[in-house]
Amino acid sequence: MSYNFLVIQDIIYSKEKRGKIVAIVNLDALIPREDFEVQGHNISQQLVNTLTATGLNKGEFFYSSLRKPDFQRETADWDKIKIKDFINSFLDGDLIPSIILWNAGHYTFVIDGAHRLSALIAWVNDDYGDGILSQEFFNNEIDLEQKSIAEQTRRLIEKDIGSYKGFMEAVRNPSEANQEKLNKAQKLGFLSVHLQWVQGDAEKAENSFFKINEKSTPISDTEKALLKSRKKPYALASRAIMRAGTGHKYWSHFSQKIKEDIVTIAKEVNESLFTPDTKTPIKTLDLPLAGKNYSSKTLPLIFDLVKLSNNVLKGEIDNDTDGKTTTKYLRRTNKVIRRFTTTHPSSLGLHPAIYFYSEQGRYQPTAFMAWIEIIKEYENKKQFNAFTDIREEFEDYILKRKNITNQVTGKYGSGLKGYKQLKELYLFIIDTIKDKSTSLDAIDNRINENEKFQFLKLSDFGEKSKNNNFSSNSKSEVFLRNAIQNAPKCKICRGLVHVNSISIDHIKRKQDGGLGNPDNGQLTHPYCNTTYKN
């Protein structure tokens, strides 16, 4: 494998990944982060130009000096196949692109190649996001999905390559080792990756990072915006939510009270977004509000959520020097999310299977963003009761016309590109129902009469297959169609009730003598129970 082939392989992989959700392996713990503003100066003497696997073992001098700069993207962008293939390329002696480093006193900063280094570190230390290094980094609060992906990666590498520990045992006990494994193990002493060093100060190193990462494997627009705005409150809030307040503490220089608030709120938002866990094909209606926590689409979703919740899509925002603005942004984001699918008294309990997943069970971030805007608008205009009045009819319509979300996304783009148009369509449907046009045909006719929406094809769609076997999407669609028909509904508004947003209401009110007996209880949404019925 040549250098050029690896670069092309990287580009192909990135393009393939953009079109689908990928279960990524979190290797962010394996190289600690450090602010570039550290004591120490660039060393002028001769620096090593190769690195062997043994130097990446915990406790080795070289590994202990490794750091990622605070502007480095999170090392959580490769899936288990890519990690396995890279380790295999290293063991086969393929020519691997150089790791680019910058030295500042006792620290060695990784300017380019953090994923490559982390893949080898993961193999050497048997830590694919769930080992000792990761447990320390995430305060022993690693969720089940991250652990599951880590174990899948470990089993794949053990099966196709073998563990680093197994190679070391083969060298120590050659007479008992498999010959093929022993041959590979004996090569480890001289196999290495090439190192290149950036000469100059911290500014030169940072400029080198952005220049390098906009070439062979470009930084996505979200990553670029997040890295360049890393000291701004919306970036700090996004980082905190992404890992539920664990991992690298980008907010470590704030006061103790501010740090505690950031962690507490970020954890609540993360749990509201990503619990319970889900698998495909879908076999439960207990779907998370924001899809999978460990996918290539998660960070952009959180970043856009924070910006939309705080109205910072345009305009210059100052850096946050004391953490107060970051905390304010987190509180605003949490206030919006509490309206979605939580047990907070303000929660509408919007069922994700209806509002945010396609008929085949694919997560729809554009719909999520559209509803962020709708909730903000309803908050300002105090229109939640008016929506609750017609909620049953609205849910019935969008359930039968699931395909309209994808059609809007197809025309205008996903995420921030198309959410305003989708919001406009949802509000038009809601207003149509308020005007007493509640039947499927009546709503369809009103949409067809509007010039803005004439591109929509209002007919039933399903997963079409020419294969005799059911695809994963087809299986999900079969389950969702049947399960939704029997899903519990709020006894007040008749909208679907989600497991994360259940409130138990007195049928006969307490003030009227109603008791807390099961016969006097009913399932409702929190908002319907605490506000709407009153």
The domain spans of the chain are 3-219, 339-532
Task: For 415-467, write each residue's pLDDT tens digit.
Answer: 888 999 999 999 999 999 999 888 999 999 999 999 999 999 987 555 555 66
Task: Label residue 208 by pLDDT band (50, 70, 90).
Answer: confident
> Cα 379–297–306 angle (5° rounding)?
30
> Can you list the pairs that 268-273 forms with residues at least 24 positions away whose Cβ atoms lie under 8 Å?
268/334, 269/241, 269/330, 269/333, 269/334, 269/337, 270/241, 270/242, 270/243, 270/244, 270/245, 271/244, 272/334, 272/337, 272/338, 272/340, 272/341, 272/342, 272/500, 273/241, 273/302, 273/337
Torsion angle defined by CA atoms of residues 78, 84, 90 and 96, in that order, rounded to the nearest 10 degrees = -30
Task: Label residue 223 by pLDDT band (50, 70, 90).
Answer: confident
| Residue 478 or 337, more confident | 337
The pLDDT value given to residue 56: 93
For residue 187, pLDDT beyond 80? yes
The pLDDT value given to residue 219: 60
Highest mean pLDDT pick, 65-69, 91-95, 307-311 = 307-311
The pLDDT value given to residue 465: 57
Of 368, 376, 350, give the one whose Cα is nearest residue 290.
368
Torsion angle defined by CA atoms of residues 112, 117, 119 and 125, in that order, rounded to the nearest 10 degrees = -150
For residue 216, pLDDT beyond 70? no
210-219, 238-247, 382-391: which range is least confident on average? 210-219
3-state helix, strand, coil split of the chain in percent (to 5) is 50, 10, 40
The pLDDT value given to residue 12: 35
The pLDDT value given to residue 322: 96
Question: Is 452 buried (19+), middle (13-18) or exposed (0-12) by CB count in 10 A?
Answer: exposed
The pLDDT value given to residue 316: 76
For residue 147, pLDDT beyond 50? yes
Task: For 351-383, write each residue's pLDDT tens digit.
Answer: 999 999 999 999 999 999 999 999 999 999 999
Task: For 9-38, write each residue's pLDDT tens digit.
Answer: 443 344 344 445 567 899 999 999 887 665
The pLDDT value given to residue 220: 67
The pLDDT value given to residue 24: 87
| Residue 179 or 378, more confident | 378
Mean pLDDT of the chain: 87
Could you give the CA distance from residue 170 to residue 265 in angstroms, rounded to a whole number? 49
Q: Stretch 379-399: mean pLDDT, rounded?
A: 96
Task: For 462-509, write each residue's pLDDT tens digit.
Answer: 555 566 677 788 888 899 999 999 999 999 999 999 999 999 988 888
Q: Does an H or E element contain 52, and which? A: strand 50-52
The pLDDT value given to residue 523: 95
For residue 214, pLDDT beyond 70? no
| CA 460 from centroid of its chain's CA atoms | 31
Task: Label residue 5 by pLDDT band (50, 70, 90).
Answer: very low
The pLDDT value given to residue 467: 64
The pLDDT value given to residue 3: 37
